[in-house]
């Protein structure tokens, strides 16, 4: 049994092959008991360190705990259509664990505070979201029969655009919009799917499924491929897929006319590190890969012309836990990493060129089990989706030091993702 098993496996983990869910993806009986205790008062206070003995395995909270958070939340107030240029927050959540699906909130332009305006549970487990064009939002449905849904978010609450489209893969955990298509990373089946978009922005059936191959040395987590993230490079020419199971990042070419996806290059990373997500430097010349199985960030050089990602070095986060997401400041001075288990945010100072990263601080994330994080468009505030405590917490960022200062929180049961647009 690994440290990851003992402390609680991270989200999306399922047994490799056959699509069977492991204890890490949905709560077991023991997990439910642990979460019930947490909901009854055994939960750690915001910012407390470590993984307590009562912490349940798995990434999703149980329905009872989620319902308790939701019951205490204020009812949404009346809402007027958003002003042109206004920033809004879109929050994903696990409906199977008490979440209400896709939640929408207005962002106060002065304070950054979130005020919920509406929600929809039209699709199950919309765990990750991505913005599109013309007030269209996309969500994966993280299920064994994975799907993508599109929502009209021009009003107070999201409205489903057509039917959800199957991805022909299992357990999609991430998606991006590129060249008139939606691309998904399917964790359980270890594949990447491409779905064309209709004129109204709704997804059509998948036209391409590229299956990853390979494995890693951590048998419990890396018996086969586990695609965890897909992202278009800053120039929009390449699609990069981060695979936790094979310790690699694949670079693919996407044909905008047909949706065909062709493997161009594979960047191998340290065996057993379990890469999960990456983010680009604003210059587009470097990328930072955060690893789930080992708390490190790999700094990579990105050659956009050649379509080649090259590792340069690692920066240890110097904290036990299971990193989830990473974001980079718009001016490229800092990066922030969410670390589950430790319930922390790691602050990294980046070199002037972006080719090196240094850990400068670790601060509490404001809740429990930070699964995702996002910056506001100006880079002044950081928003963290704390899944097990059921909230999205926001922080003011010191422009000189990059240090986050907690400013408030919005209750959102089983929160998994936050996107600001």
Q: Over 90: is that where the pLDDT of 216 sits?
A: yes
Nearest-angstrom CA–CA distance, 377 and 47: 26
pLDDT computed for residue 82 by the predictor = 57
Residue 266 burial class via C-beta count within 10 angstroms: exposed 0-12, middle 13-18, buried 19 and up: middle
Task: Identify how many contiguous H helices and E strands the chain contains and give both numbers.
Answer: 4, 29
- Cβ(95)–Cβ(121) below 8 Å: yes
Share of the chain above pLDDT 90, in %: 78
pLDDT computed for residue 83 by the predictor = 60
| Confidence band of 7 (pLDDT split at 50, 70, 90) | very low
DSSP string, 176-217: EEETTEEEEEETTTTEEEEEEB-TTS-B----EEEE-----S
Q: Over 60: is that where the pLDDT of 59 sits?
A: no
- Cβ(286)–Cβ(355) below 8 Å: yes
Residue-wise pLDDT for 250-262, tens only, equals 999 999 999 999 9
Q: What is the mean pLDDT of residues 44-61?
A: 34
pLDDT computed for residue 318 by the predictor = 83
**Rg of the chain over CA atoms, in angstroms?**
19
Residue-wise pLDDT for 123-159, tens only, equals 999 999 999 888 999 999 999 999 999 999 999 999 9
| Confidence band of 52 (pLDDT split at 50, 70, 90) | very low
Nearest-angstrom CA–CA distance, 254 and 284: 19
Share of the chain above pLDDT 70, in %: 80
Across the chain, mean pLDDT equals: 85
| 1 contact partners, CB below 8 Å, separation of at least 6 | none
Nearest-angstrom CA–CA distance, 219 and 123: 33
- Cβ(381)–Cβ(397) below 8 Å: yes
Q: What is the mean pLDDT of residues 92-97?
A: 98
Torsion of CA 201, 392, 330, 154, to 10 degrees: 30
The CA angle 368-371-377, to the nearest 5 degrees, is: 115
405 token code pair:
């200062």
Q: What is the mean pLDDT of residues 50-55?
A: 31
Nearest-angstrom CA–CA distance, 94 and 393: 18
Q: What is the mean pLDDT of residues 373-394?
A: 97
Report which of 376, 287, 387, 377 is spatially closest to residue 338, judged by C-alpha positions.
387
Nearest-angstrom CA–CA distance, 288 and 315: 10
Measured in residues, the chain has a length of: 421
Report which of 213, 292, 294 is spatially closest to residue 250, judged by C-alpha positions.
213
Q: Over 60: is that where the pLDDT of 164 sits?
A: yes
pLDDT computed for residue 319 by the predictor = 79
Torsion of CA 162, 168, 171, 172, to 10 degrees: -60
Nearest-angstrom CA–CA distance, 179 and 253: 11
pLDDT computed for residue 80 by the predictor = 56
The reported pTM is 0.84
Residue-wise pLDDT for 260-313, tens only, equals 999 999 999 999 999 999 999 999 999 999 999 999 999 999 999 999 999 999
pLDDT computed for residue 256 by the predictor = 97
Q: Over 90: is that where the pLDDT of 345 sits?
A: yes
In the three-class reduction of DSSP (H, G, I as helix; E, B as strand; rest coil), residue 96 is classed as helix
pLDDT computed for residue 84 by the predictor = 55
Nearest-angstrom CA–CA distance, 408 and 421: 19
pLDDT computed for residue 67 by the predictor = 31
Between β-strands 404-411 and 391-397, what pairing exists: parallel, antiparallel or unpaired? Answer: antiparallel
| Confidence band of 316 (pLDDT split at 50, 70, 90) | very high
Q: What is the mean pLDDT of residues 333-350?
A: 98
What would you measure as the largest C-alpha separation in the chain, in angstroms? 55
DSSP state of 74: P
The sign of the dihedral angle between the CA atoms of 204, 209, 210, 216 is: positive
Q: Over 70: is that where the pLDDT of 5 sits?
A: no
Nearest-angstrom CA–CA distance, 115 and 77: 8
Q: Over 60: is that where the pLDDT of 19 sits?
A: no
In the three-class reduction of DSSP (H, G, I as helix; E, B as strand; rest coil), residue 294 is classed as coil
Q: Which residues pair with 227 in a beta bridge?
A: 243
| Confidence band of 192 (pLDDT split at 50, 70, 90) | very high
Residue-wise pLDDT for 21-33, tens only, equals 332 333 322 332 3
- Cβ(401)–Cβ(414) below 8 Å: no
Q: What is the mean pLDDT of residues 365-394?
A: 98
Report which of 103, 152, 109 is spatially closest to residue 127, judged by C-alpha positions.
103
Nearest-angstrom CA–CA distance, 411 and 221: 31
150 token code pair:
């599109």
């Amino acid at each position: 049994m690994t440290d990851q098993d003992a402390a609680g496996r991270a989200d999306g983990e399922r047994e490799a092959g056959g699509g069977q869910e492991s204890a890490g993806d949905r709560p077991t009986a023991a997990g439910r008991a642990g979460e019930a205790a947490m909901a009854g008062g055994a939960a750690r206070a915001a910012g407390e360190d470590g993984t307590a003995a009562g912490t349940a395995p798995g990434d999703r909270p149980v329905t009872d705990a989620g319902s308790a958070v939701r019951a205490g939340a204020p009812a949404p107030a009346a809402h007027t259509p958003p002003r042109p240029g206004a920033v809004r927050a879109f929050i994903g959540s696990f409906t199977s664990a008490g979440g209400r699906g896709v939640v929408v909130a207005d962002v106060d332009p002065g304070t950054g505070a979130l005020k919920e305006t509406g929600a929809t549970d039209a699709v199950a487990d919309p765990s990750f979201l991505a913005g599109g064009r013309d007030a269209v939002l996309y969500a994966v449905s993280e299920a064994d029969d994975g799907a993508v849904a599109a929502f009209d978010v021009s009003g107070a609450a999201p409205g489903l655009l057509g039917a959800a489209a199957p991805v022909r893969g299992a357990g999609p955990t991430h998606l991006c919009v590129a060249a008139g298509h939606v691309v998904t990373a399917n964790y359980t089946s270890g594949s990447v799917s491409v779905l064309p978009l209709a004129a109204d922005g709704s997804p059509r059936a998948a036209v391409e499924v590229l299956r990853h191959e390979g494995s890693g040395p951590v048998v419990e987590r890396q018996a086969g491929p586990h695609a965890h993230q897909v992202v278009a490079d800053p120039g929009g020419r390449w699609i990069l897929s981060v695979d936790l199971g094979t310790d690699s990042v694949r670079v693919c070419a996407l044909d905008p006319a047909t949706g065909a996806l062709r493997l161009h290059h594979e960047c191998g990373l340290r065996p057993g590190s379990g890469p999960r997500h990456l983010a680009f430097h604003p210059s587009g010349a470097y990328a930072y890969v955060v690893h789930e199985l080992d708390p490190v960030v790999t700094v990579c050089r990105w050659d956009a012309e050649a379509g080649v990602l090259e590792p340069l070095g690692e920066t240890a986060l110097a904290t036990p836990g299971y990193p989830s997401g990473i974001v980079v400041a718009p001016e490229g001075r800092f990066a922030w990493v969410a670390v589950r288990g430790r319930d922390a945010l790691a602050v990294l100072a980046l070199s002037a060129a972006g080719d090196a990263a240094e850990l400068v601080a670790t601060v509490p994330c404001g809740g429990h089990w930070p699964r995702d994080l996002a910056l506001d468009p100006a880079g002044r505030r950081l928003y963290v989706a704390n899944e097990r405590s059921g909230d999205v917490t926001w922080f003011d960022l010191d422009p000189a030091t990059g240090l986050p200062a907690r400013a408030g929180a919005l209750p959102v049961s089983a929160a998994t993702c936050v996107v600001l647009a």
